[in-house]
Every structure is written in C-alpha cells, then in structure tokens.
Amino acid sequence: MSSDLPPVRGPRQPDAVEVYDTTLRDGSQLEGISLTVDDKLRIAEQLDHLGVHYVEGGWPGANPKDDEFFARAPAELALATSTLVAFGSTRRVKGKTDDDPTLRHLIEAGTSTVCIVGKCWDYHVTEALRTTLDEGVAMVADSVAFLRGQGRRVFFDAEHFFDGYKHNPEFSLRVLEAAVGSGAECLVLCDTNGGSLPFEVERIVAEVDDYLRVPLGIHVHDDTGCAVANTLAAVRAGATQVQGTINGIGERTGNANLSTIVPDLSLKMGVRTLPEGRLERLTSVSHHVAELVNVALNPQAPYVGSSAFAHKAGLHVSAIARRPDAYEHVDADLVGNGTRFVVSELAGRSTLEIKARELGLELDGKELGDVVDQLKHLEHEGYHFEVADGSLELLMRAATGWEQPFFTLESFRVIVDHRPGEHGTPDEVVTEATIKVVVDGERHIATAEGNGPVNALDTALRQAIGRRYPGFDRLHLTDFKVRVLDTSKATGAVTRVLIDSTNGERTWSTIGVSENIIEASWEALVDSIVYGLFHTGDGGEAGSSRDGDPA
C-alpha cells in the first residue's frame, strides 16, 4: 500500500517548509482575471483557513485596488494562521531609499513582513536597468537595510536567479550576499521565466546552500511544465520556503501549483507543510478559490480535481470499492477529496450498487434493476450520465421514492426579442423568461431578462423562490455546453445540454436532452438547482461541508 511506504528523503531535505502563497499578487497576473478587493479579501480568508504561513496580498502603490486591499485588511481580515505580506521592489537606480515611492508604499501597507524583488542576472542590470553591476548590488543592499531599519521582516525575491547564476554566478551570489548582509531573512531563488529543469534547480539550490548557509526559498513558473517538479527538487536540495499559487494560476503557463506541491511534500516526501489537520481542507479551498477567481478548475488536477479519484471500470469496480488502496496512490480523504465511481451504460449493475452505497441509498434488487433499465433507455435517447453525476444522483434518489421538495413547475415561457439596431448600432437581442412555480402550496411568478434562455430562466427562478431558500445564493452555473446529436431515429436531431455548477465547495454536472434546446436547458437547469439546494443546507439531510468551512 503506497501510502504506508516511508517517505523519500534526501540528505539535505528539511523536516518542514513554510508555504508562501502569491495567488493575490503573481497569480492575479493571469490574463482574464480581474479580482475586486472583496474577492481578494475572501481569497485571503480561504488561504488562512487552509493554513499557509504567508499570504502575499499584492503590490501597494502599483494599483489602487492593492492599496485599498492593504488599507482594509487590518479591519476586515482576521487572520488566525497566516501572516500578510506586502510585495515591492528595490529602490530606483541612483535613487535614495528615504524618498523612494516604492519603498514608501511598502512601509505604508503596514504589514510586519515585506518581500522585495531585485535583479540577480547581470544582463538585466546592464540592459534593463542600464546601470553598473555595483549599483545593482547597492540597490538591493540599501533597500533591504532601509526596510529592516523600519522594523520590517524582509524576504528577498532573487529575480531570474537561475538564468543569472548560469551566466554569471559571481554576480548573482554577490546580490544574495548583499541581501542577507543587510538583514533579509530568506533568499527566494526565482525561476522568473520558468525555463529551468529539475536537475538544474536541485544542483543550483544545493550549491547556493553550500555557499551561503542561509534560509532559501523557491519561486518558479511552469513554462517547461516542471514548476511542481522544480519546487520539489529545490526542497530536496534544502529550500525551506515554497512559493506558489492555488491551482497554479499565474501569467503565461502559470506559477508553481501549491494544490499539488503541498500534498506532494506532505504525503510523499514527509516534509511538514500546513498545520496539523489542515491538509484535508485542500480540495474545498482549491474549489472555492477557483470560483472566486472565476477560472474553472481542471477536473484532472492532481489531488483536488473532481476526476482525481474517479474510477471508470466495469470489470474491476467491485475490487476498487473493496480495496481502494490497491488502485489509488493516496487515500483521497487525506486531501479532502473522495473516491468516485463513474457510471456509464457499460458499467452496469455492480457500479450502480457501489454508487448507491456511496450516496447512502438503500436500493433493493428490483429498484436497482429498474435504475439499470432506465439508464439504458435514457442513454439510448442521448443522455450521457458518465458526465452528469448530479443528474445520476437525483435519478437514483428518485428510484427510492424520493421527490424533490423544493418547487413544482406550473409553466414557463421564454421569449427572444431580436431588434435591428438603428443608426449603425448593433442589433439588440433580449431574452426574457417568465416562470410560474408552486412552493408549499403557494404560487410564485417571476419574469427576468438574461443573456440567453438558461440565464433568463435561472434568474427568473431565483427571483421566484430565492428568498425561500437561502442556499440558492451560493449556487452558480459555471459552464454550459450544447451538443446536437444526430440520432438515427425518425424524429431527427436532439439537443444535449450539460450544465456545470458549484456552491463554492463542490462542483456537479447535470444533463438535459430534448428535441427543443430550451426544454433540454430547463431540464439540466432544474437538476442543477435541485442538486445544489439538496447539498447546500436546504435539503435537510445532506450538508455539503466536509470540514465545517463557513463558506
């Protein structure tokens, strides 16, 4: 059983590392991301809930949002575990530290700890800064000394360190010596353009560690697809601080992915990372942050993805259910994820039996047989339950006699109004939905506009019954896929709609199939909402939180 094997330890490897999250600064460089200050505060809370040592909040002075974040943080962020860090750079070329705007903003951010970046590649000093190497070193030394003089703890991000070291190790090491000599307490070696490979990182970190004997950190990007491997290699070589982002978000190909690195270090290498009992919050925090940054989590993400412990196996499925350790590299519960069995037409009765057990449903032989028949029939019509775990669960619950208690549809109507633009303005398309539903014998009617039929129906339904179910607020549709299936039936093509949804802690998929795209969308939407309400505290029996996360 793999998880019982002794961890792989290197001779230089530390017993513990500090986890430094830069989702709010480097991670938010990903194109398409635009975080509000409220988003940033909520992400910081999630990081604290996970238990990272340092949360880099942003670059004060670089944009008004980061200034507002640091201004509001003292009153609005009650961090229990994490230390907030402000990020900045060294003073300007030939400038003075005491009238340098970047350094002044860093002090004004009011954090106990700051991280400043400085150039360690001679080429960048002479070509980008257009100054001498001596001035490059002085900029680092002066800036660190100034911040220490203001009572701050200082981490030094050694920009382009690996490239610099390969070209001119004497200069790169001089910069590090200047930083540490002025009082920096951790030297973070950065692979800023992400071009390094694990064996280079391991060798170079070990050489620097031999030369300086001070705490080293590692900050890498994923341009070679090796950011996780490079981080692990650096820890093997003695690094004691790992920097990265939740889900690896960041510009270009992303930053080092803490959602992978933390369990790798903890479970495979025996290095302490998060405080005791926090690793099992990883999956929930990863999903929550994905929702806050509005970047869908890759289902295949290691450890935290919805497919990470999903098994599609007709023949071996009962063996997996009996002995998951024979098929899974770690126990999914350790990272707060769960083993999941993917059901398809081919998988048959034994898979469904396991699925029922997983859901805590008692299905007798006849009910199970009915579900198998129903699935076969529906898959023939174009349903595809392998990708719609939410709809499958509702179907299986219905087989036990369960009926969704949330609302009954009386009718809905969707109107699409296309108006030609006047005087050269673009055409206007407005979709309006009116919905009539009954809840506890009471009739609710609502009309809403949307940017398409699903959005309009969703909005109308929220207006009609949202107040009755507080959990509704937390449900969001994250993806909507339409596929036209060319069936061989005389009726012609049918439309299959798949909707992905989340409540911030779990994600689920639902399906609808009809000859009419709006009908198919409605079917998928109703399943999405019923599943969501059931698992978000409005369904009674099934709370969604794995760990008491206040969401």
Structure tokens at 540: 């009674």
| Shortest distance, position 219 Cβ to Zn ion, whole Å | 6
Structure tokens at 281: 């919050």
Q: Which of 18, 19, 20, 26 binds Zn ion (CB under 5 A)?
A: 26
Q: Which of residues 43-82 bind Zn ion (CB under 5 A)?
A: none
Binding region for Zn ion (CB under 5 A) out of 19-27, 137-145, 409-417, 522-530: 19-27
| Shortest distance, position 214 Cβ to Zn ion, whole Å | 21
The residue among 254 and 336 lying less far from Zn ion, judged by its C-beta, is 254
Residue, CB closest to Zn ion:
26
| Shortest distance, position 158 Cβ to Zn ion, whole Å | 11
Give the containing element (helix H, strand E) for 352: helix 348-358
The residue among 217 and 471 lying less far from Zn ion, judged by its C-beta, is 217
Q: Which of residues 488-507 bind Zn ion (CB under 5 A)?
A: none
| Shortest distance, position 28 Cβ to Zn ion, whole Å | 11
Residue with tokens 């196996």, as numbered in its chain: 313
The residue among 164 and 390 lying less far from Zn ion, judged by its C-beta, is 164
Structure tokens at 459: 């909005």
The residue among 142 and 159 lying less far from Zn ion, judged by its C-beta, is 159
Binding region for Zn ion (CB under 5 A) out of 22-30, 76-84, 296-304, 389-397: 22-30
The residue among 26 and 393 lying less far from Zn ion, judged by its C-beta, is 26
Verify binding: residue 159, Zn ion, rule CB under 5 A: no
Binding region for Zn ion (CB under 5 A) out of 24-32, 347-355, 449-457, 481-489: 24-32
**Nearest 5°: phi and psi at 97?**
-70, -35
Q: Are strands 83-89 and 408-419 parallel, antiparallel or unpaired?
A: unpaired
| Shortest distance, position 37 Cβ to Zn ion, whole Å | 22
What is d(CA 62, CA 127) in angstroms, rounded to the nearest whole number?
23
| Shortest distance, position 253 Cβ to Zn ion, whole Å | 12
With the CA atoms of 28, 29, 30 and 35 taken in that order, what torsion angle do they form, in degrees rounded to the nearest 10?
30
Q: Is 155 helix (H, G, I), strand (E, B) or coil?
A: strand
What is d(CA 80, CA 70) in angstroms, rounded to the nearest whole number?
17
The packing angle between helices 517-534 and 389-399, to 10°, is 70
Total chain residues near Zn ion (CB under 5 A): 1
With the CA atoms of 321, 337, 280 and 235 taken in that order, what torsion angle do they form, in degrees rounded to the nearest 10?
100
How many C-beta atoms surround the C-beta of residue 176 within 10 A? 26
The residue among 172 and 245 lying less far from Zn ion, judged by its C-beta, is 245
Nearest to residue 208, comparing CAs of 168, 238, 183? 238
Instruction: Tell me if 125 sits within 8 A of 77, measured CB to CB.
Output: no
| Shortest distance, position 26 Cβ to Zn ion, whole Å | 4
| Shortest distance, position 221 Cβ to Zn ion, whole Å | 6
Binding region for Zn ion (CB under 5 A) out of 26-34, 262-270, 507-515, 519-527: 26-34
The residue among 26 and 386 lying less far from Zn ion, judged by its C-beta, is 26
With the CA atoms of 220, 221, 223 and 225 taken in that order, what torsion angle do they form, in degrees rounded to the nearest 10?
70
Q: What are the CA-CA distances from residue 65 to residues 41, 74, 75 (Å)?
A: 11, 15, 16
Binding region for Zn ion (CB under 5 A) out of 23-31, 68-76, 339-347, 537-545: 23-31
The residue among 42 and 160 lying less far from Zn ion, judged by its C-beta, is 160
Structure tokens at 538: 């409005």
Binding region for Zn ion (CB under 5 A) out of 3-11, 21-29, 373-381, 471-479: 21-29
The residue among 207 and 251 lying less far from Zn ion, judged by its C-beta, is 251
Rg over alpha carbons for the chain, rounded to the nearest Å, is 27
Q: Which residues bind Zn ion (CB under 5 A)?
A: 26
